[in-house]
């Protein structure tokens, strides 16, 4: 029997929500940038990286560890 690590799961979902919020907030700032396309490319890359790490964290949390 494996014991799930709910802290990892909840933390993963929290940081996914924060990454999406960060991306949406930066969309409002992008038009004021000198190069909005490059700005959003960098922001999207950073947000995507965080979401990828969080998905891995959620998977590890759901798999759990042996008791």
The conformational region for residue 64 under phi > 0 = left, psi -120 to 50 = alpha, else beta, is left
Nearest to 12 by CA among 67, 64, 53: 53
Say what the pLDDT of residue 67 is.
83
> How many structural domains are present in the chain?
1
Residue 66 pLDDT exceeds 90: no
* Contact present, 57 and 8 (Cβ < 8 Å): yes
Number of residues that this document lists for the chain = 67
Residue range of the domain that includes 34: 2-66
Task: Give the pLDDT band of residue 2 (cuts 50, 70, 90).
Answer: confident
Say what the pLDDT of residue 42 is.
96
Say what the pLDDT of residue 16 is.
97
DSSP state of 33: S
pLDDT digits (tens, 9 = 90+) for 10-30: 999 999 999 999 999 999 999
Residue 1 pLDDT exceeds 90: no
Instruction: Give the residue carrying structure tokens 């999406």.
Output: 20
């Amino acid at each position: 029997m494996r014991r799930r690590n709910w802290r990892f799961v909840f933390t993963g979902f929290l940081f996914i929500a924060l990454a999406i919020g960060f991306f949406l907030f930066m969309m409002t700032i992008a038009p004021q940038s000198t190069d909005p396309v490059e700005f959003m490319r960098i922001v999207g890359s950073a947000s995507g990286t965080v979401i990828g790490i969080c998905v891995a964290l959620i998977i590890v949390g759901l798999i759990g560890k042996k008791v």
